[in-house]
Structure 1
């Protein structure tokens, strides 16, 4: 009997999805949810969305708001302001609705324009060379190496840390704090689980306030120094805004790229017959990366709430109703992708929703793509005999899903 032949109710499926075992392999559960149609309606009180067209519409619609916005939180989650992790998250552009989102996105967005991202290539290539040297040293004795700790994390934080002016010596010690903070993005039953994230966010806020003071006194070539100057001249952005969004950029541009890179490398090692093309064909590398984003994305779930009453693909949604967008399921929607359960780097018109869409489309998407395409061919050239030393494990998270460990042997 197949895993989708027994019809489970949506809330039962979600319960299994939120278990540790469900988070290790959520894809069969997404297919069980899909049996209920592209929009699973729980008595009009909650909607779980697996359809690509439906998720894409919700990501762009003005009728649908971020559930993490401070104003929305006030209505839905009394007591949230007692938690530093949630308070700081609502102050950044990613987790706020307009007008705050638009104001902050205008201020910070220019730094990630296509032209400016191209100017970052030198830093990216330098970090790629440095992390490959580090990985070679870590695996020199032939023993298994954790690719997440020794490669993916170091590479991701090396890039964003360099751009933000975070000294290289400070970067390795930030891993646990970044991981603790991402727990605030998960569905929370007991607020006590936020304690590590609250403490980490407070420490990181203190760190970035000190960094602002240092770079205001002695500016450098980094983006933070430029933002300080622009904020001081315009008066449109406060130090609190700067700190909140610097923390966002550090956490988001470390954790998500780390997970995307680990997944992409794992998929490459699972398909050794593609290595020659990945070493030699940049266009194929770009297609491989896009397919890895579709097939096993780091961002699996996004939550929204209805701002007004509206009709959603034939269903009546009332203001205040939550919509859970199962992005990883939408990326495997057979109505959008032929043979969606097959990993196909040559897939045509491949547009996964992993980087979101609309006004909240990932600010660092171009930088993330450049980072992976710069290092993946070099990794396979440098270590042609690299193999997986085990299946790897995933963190106990579903919104931001990624490997806890991924052991490899360099060969």
Structure 2
């Protein structure tokens, strides 16, 4: 099968359902494959890791997006996150990231552990009250936990938290390789609503600061407006919110789906003989909630896997493929939480390494063992249905019963 056909299938319904066989077909071409004059696809772990850590491979920032995407400036769904650290290169990226990192610190995240445990226990109590009726794990637990945690951290009032999952689902469609016109319009509406929400919240926190991340970011930005503009503040708050639960919700769903298929692994997690951190690492490797990311060559003379990459050539990093590179992970198609073969690339690497990685790990390692211990009879209640996404991989529904075995 030629590369054009493989890429076409990867971007279509077949790839969204199960991209892994297509990744292997691309890998057979080499760890970096030239798909056309302007794009290289990377399946190799070392090659992807090198690109992530090389500053000369940048992200498609607003200036470049305006150059390559004709209607970029016409759609707030595209431009909102363009003012965040997600889509900025040096020096703007470092300027904004250092400010955010100064308040979103590892210490602040570590101090959340009791709150995460309490949130997990509260949700498990609610599940128990549901009885033996089937429920959707994603709606009832997987997304509610990280939404609650990130909103508590940011300082979003509890009565507003129901707003954000549908808005995030609409906005993150712009991160996909292909997007339909209807999806783009929905993303525009979601971006406008999120920007307005955070404009209102930051105004309230300026007038009446609280002990939360929004207040801390507002105070830090106001102390030196040259470090973070009002537009950048809103964009980064929207990013922190969405990234704080979208990928973690999918991580929890992907993990439970695998545990339901592997009762032996679930039993080890339940009885404490399996390290939850090892399980989470293997879920991230085996079925990553983030399957790909992209970079663009910002300089001449760059290479990937020995292949020349001219300036302004795009590089599509297939993280889901890199995480199954047999040169890095022996027997990569086997789900094995006991492996100790290296870190997956699911949180990225280099300057754009995910700021929320520690929080996502904390939530998953707390929630999954507690869930299985509370409900040892947890079982499927019907077929799980995948979302129609390639970049952000997860389930649309994951029906379960709490006492099915």
Same fold (TM over 0.5): yes
Q: Distance in 2 between matches of 1:384 and 1:274?
A: 13
Q: Secondary structure at the match of 1:90?
A: helix
- The alpha-carbon distance between structure 1 residues 250 and 282, as it changes in their structure 2 partners (threshold 3 A), is farther
Alignment correspondent of 1:222? 212
Q: 1:84 and 2:76 equivalent?
A: yes
Query: Is 1:22 matched with 2:1?
Result: no
Equivalents in 2 of 1:170, 1:15: separation in Å? 40
Q: Does 1:397 align with 2:389?
A: yes
Structure 2 spans left out of the alignment, 5+ residues: none
Question: Secondary structure, in 3 states, of the residue corresponding to 1:302?
Answer: strand
Could you tell which deviates more after superposition, 14-23 or 193-202? 14-23
Query: 3-state DSSP class of the match of 1:196?
Result: helix
From the superposition, tell whether residues 205 and 43 of structure 1 become closer, same or farther in structure 2 (CA, over 3 Å): closer
- Change over 3 Å in CA distance of 1:279–1:227 after alignment to 2: same
Choose from 120, 134, 142 the match for 1:152.
Answer: 142
Q: Residue by residue, what CA displacement relative to the aligned partner does 1:147-183 show, whole Å, maximum 9, x if unpaired?
A: 1111111001000011011111211232111100010
The 8 Å contact of residues 285 and 324 in structure 2, kept in 1 or not, is answered as yes
Report the more deviating stretch, 156-165 or 260-269. 260-269
Cα displacement string for residues 41-74 of structure 1 (whole angstroms, at most 9, x for unaligned residues): 135432111011110011111221112x112112
Deviation of the 1:282 alpha carbon:
7.8
CA distance, structure 1, for counterparts of residue 234 and residue 274 of structure 2: 38
CA contact (8 A) 2:142 2:249 kept: yes
CA distance in structure 2 between the partners assigned to 1:248 and 1:189 by the alignment: 19
Is structure 2 residue 282 aligned with structure 1 residue 291? yes
SS in 2 for 1:41: strand
Q: Is the 8 A contact 2:43 2:322 kept in 1?
A: yes
CA distance in 2, matches of 1:353, 1:314: 21
Q: Secondary structure at the match of 2:233?
A: helix
Q: 1:189 to 1:210 in 2, by over 3 A?
A: closer
2:312 matched to which residue of 1? 320
Give the Cα–Cα distance (whole angstroms) in 1 for the partners of residues 210 and 387 of structure 2.
Answer: 36
User: Counterpart of 2:52?
Assistant: 59
The answer as to 2:164 corresponding to 1:204 is no
- 8 A contact 2:269–2:276 mirrored in 1: yes
- Residue 324 of structure 1 aligns to a residue whose secondary structure is strand
Q: Residue 100 of structure 1 is aligned with which of 92, 95, 107?
A: 92
Residues 254-306 of structure 1, C-alpha deviations (whole Å, 9 max, x = no match): 10000011111221222212234313438611101100000000000111111
Summarize the alignment of residues 253-332 of structure 1 with structure 2, pairs less than 5 Å apart.
253-281=244-272, 284-309=275-300, 310-332=302-324
Partner of 1:251: 242
SS across alignment from 1:11: helix
Q: 2:164 aligns with which of 174, 177, 187?
A: 174
**3-state SS of 1:304 partner:** strand
Once the 2 structures are TM-superposed, how far is the Cα of residue 19 of structure 1 from its aligned partner? Answer: 1.6
- How far apart are the structure 1 equivalents of 2:178 and 2:11? 10
Indicate the residue corresponding to 2:184 in structure 1: 194
Could you tell me which residue of structure 1 aligns to residue 107 of structure 2?
Answer: 115
2:123 to 131, 149, 164: 131
Unaligned runs of 5+ in 1: 1-7
Q: What are the superposed Cα offsets for residues 106-128 of structure 1, whole Å, 9 maximum, x if unpaired? A: 00013333222111112211211
In the alignment, structure 1 residue 237 sits paired with structure 2 residue 228: yes
Which of 35, 39, 51 is the matching residue for 1:46? 39
Does the CA contact (< 8 Å) of 1:291 and 1:350 recur in 2? Answer: no
Of 325, 330, 339, the residue aligned with 2:331 is 339
- Whether the aligned pair in 1 keeps the contact of 2:136 and 2:398 (CA below 8 Å) is yes
TM-score, structure 1 normalization: 0.94
Instruction: Check conservation: 1:395, 1:404, Cα contact below 8 A.
Output: yes
* Residue pair 1:153, 1:258 contacting (<8 A) in 2 also: yes
For this pair of structures, how many residues does the alignment match?
Answer: 401
* Aligned counterparts of 1:189 and 1:106: Cα–Cα separation in 2: 32
Cα root mean square deviation, aligned: 1.5
Could you state the TM-score of these two structures normalised by the residue count of structure 2? 0.95
1:44 and 1:317 in contact (8 A); partners too: no
Residue equivalent to 1:5:
none
Describe the SS at the equivalent of 2:33. Answer: strand
Distance of 2:105 and 2:203 partners within structure 1: 27
